């Protein structure tokens, strides 16, 4: 495996399967009453969050602590970033504290790549602008594999605001590496120009794609990144691209519904669909901890999972 995890494209099929299999092993340990392992004892993980997060920030902290790493949580709010300190100077300050791994979320696409040139430790991209979110794709693949078995030939439909979604890009890259067939469904205004070069199909008609899908992943409409009108009204968007009760009823019996969170309930997904037994949304959060444990363990070269040094 490479030293950093910045893009899902950094992962070969063998790398991705190693992470998913390691997460399976770690999940067995997470079911025990004492969940903690000594495997990263003496290592330091810095969580560097320049953008808001609930799931990713908390699960990286839980993952590092369960592996016994020392954890430093940095949030741009309340730090010297508000006095104008640059990403590079912030990174070098943390480097001076001896970070073995730096987990970064930033609003600028490419920030983790820049950071990797300044620090000695491994850099993990926890979401950069509209670019990538590779550990979200890993936890999504892990969740699909647990529900459906192998992803080879599985049809995964990703629906909604692809233009602003780092989750969509990382999922398309990772799922194609793992042999799944991905279709993106979105209004033309919410697809990036570059989508023609992505390893996936594109459709504008959700109703023709849904009955063939094994997985339907709904994306959040990212209003905070929109500086123009991308669709006429929320009601119109929801009518054409939302997963409501009627569309949900037309899915295959064993199809699963996913959403990376946070959700706009009632817009891209109806509340009763989000809360149904075929929704994996809560499972995805739990699987985020074990998947991120696997990533930290493999990148930071932890002791074996029996805890031997
Ligand atoms: N899915 C995801 O990245 O959620 P957060 O923004 O809460 O971390």
Cα(14) to centroid of ligand 1, in Å?
A: 26
What is the C-alpha separation between 241 and 206, in angstroms, rounded? Answer: 6
**Is residue 136 part of an annotated ligand binding site?**
yes
**Is residue 130 part of an annotated ligand binding site?**
no
Question: What phi and psi, each to the nearest 5 degrees, are found at residue 113?
Answer: -65, -45
- CB neighbours of 78 closer than 8 A, spacing ≥ 6? none
The answer to whether 8-132+286-299 and 134-280 have equal CATH topology is yes
Helix (H, G, I), strand (E, B) or coil at 151: coil
| Helix (H) / strand (E) containing 75 | strand 70-75
pLDDT, one tens digit per residue, over 258-298 is 999 999 999 999 999 999 999 999 999 999 999 999 999 99
Burial call 212-235: b when 16+ CB within 10 Å, e when fewer: ebbbbbbbbbbeeeeeeebbeeee
Atom of ligand 1 nearest to the CA of 54: 7
Cα(52) to centroid of ligand 1, in Å?
A: 8
Atom of ligand 1 nearest to the CA of 288: 1
Give the residue ranges of the chain where pLDDT is below 50: 307-309
Which of 175, 216, 125, 197 lies closest to 16 in space, CA to CA?
A: 175
- What is the per-residue pLDDT for 42? 95
- CB neighbours of 71 closer than 8 A, spacing ≥ 6? 44, 45, 46, 47, 61, 64, 65
What is the C-alpha separation between 163 and 115, in angstroms, rounded? Answer: 24
Cα(223) to centroid of ligand 1, in Å?
A: 15
Q: What are the residue boundaries of the structural domains of the chain, listed by start?
A: 8-132+286-299, 134-280
Cα(57) to centroid of ligand 1, in Å?
A: 8
Which residues have C-beta atoms less than 6 Å from ligand 1? 53-56, 127, 133, 136, 260-262
Predicted TM-score (pTM) of this structure: 0.95
pLDDT, one tens digit per residue, over 216-257 is 999 999 888 777 778 878 899 999 999 999 999 999 999 999
The domain 8-132+286-299 is placed in CATH, from the list 3.65.10.10, 3.40.50.1820, 3.40.50.1370, 3.80.30.10, at: 3.40.50.1370
Half-sphere exposure at residue 136, Cβ-oriented, CA atoms within 13 angstroms: 29
- What is the per-residue pLDDT for 165? 96
Q: Which CATH architecture has domain 134-280?
A: 3-Layer(aba) Sandwich (3.40)
DSSP string, 168-186: HHHHHHHHHHTT-EEEEE-
What does the CA dihedral 268, 274, 279, 280 come to, rounded to 10 degrees? 90
Atom of ligand 1 nearest to the CA of 57: 8
């Amino acid at each position: 495996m490479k030293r950093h995890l910045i893009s899902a494209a950094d992962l070969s099929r063998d790398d991705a399967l190693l992470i998913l299999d390691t997460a399976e092993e770690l999940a067995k340990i997470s079911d025990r009453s004492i969940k903690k392992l000594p495997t990263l004892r003496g290592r330091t993980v810095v969580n560097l969050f320049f953008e808001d997060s609930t799931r990713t920030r908390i699960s990286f902290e839980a993952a590092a602590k369960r592996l016994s790493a020392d954890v430093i949580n940095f949030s741009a709010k309340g730090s010297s970033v508000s006095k104008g300190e640059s990403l590079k100077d912030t990174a070098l300050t943390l480097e001076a504290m001896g970070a073995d791994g730096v987990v970064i979320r930033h609003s600028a696409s490419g920030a983790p790549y820049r950071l990797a040139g300044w620090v000695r430790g491994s850099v993990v991209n926890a979401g950069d602008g509209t670019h990538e979110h590779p550990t979200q794709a890993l936890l999504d693949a892990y969740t699909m594999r647990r529900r459906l078995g192998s992803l080879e030939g599985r049809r995964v439909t990703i629906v909604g605001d692809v233009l602003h979604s780092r989750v969509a890009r990382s999922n398309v890259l990772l799922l194609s590496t793992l042999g799944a067939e991905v279709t993106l469904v979105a209004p033309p205004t919410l697809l990036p120009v570059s989508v023609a070069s992505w390893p996936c199909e594109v459709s504008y008609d959700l109703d023709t794609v849904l009955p063939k899908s094994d997985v339907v992943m709904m994306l959040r409409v990212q209003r905070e990144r929109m500086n123009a009108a991308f669709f006429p009204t929320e009601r119109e968007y929801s009518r054409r691209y939302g997963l409501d009760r009627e569309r949900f009823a037309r899915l295959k019996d064993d199809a699963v519904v996913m959403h990376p969170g946070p959700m706009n309930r009632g817009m891209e997904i109806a509340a009763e669909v989000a809360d149904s037994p075929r929704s994996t949304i809560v499972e995805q959060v739990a699987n985020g901890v074990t998947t991120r444990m696997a990533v930290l363990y493999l990148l930071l070269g932890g002791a074996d999972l029996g805890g031997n040094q």
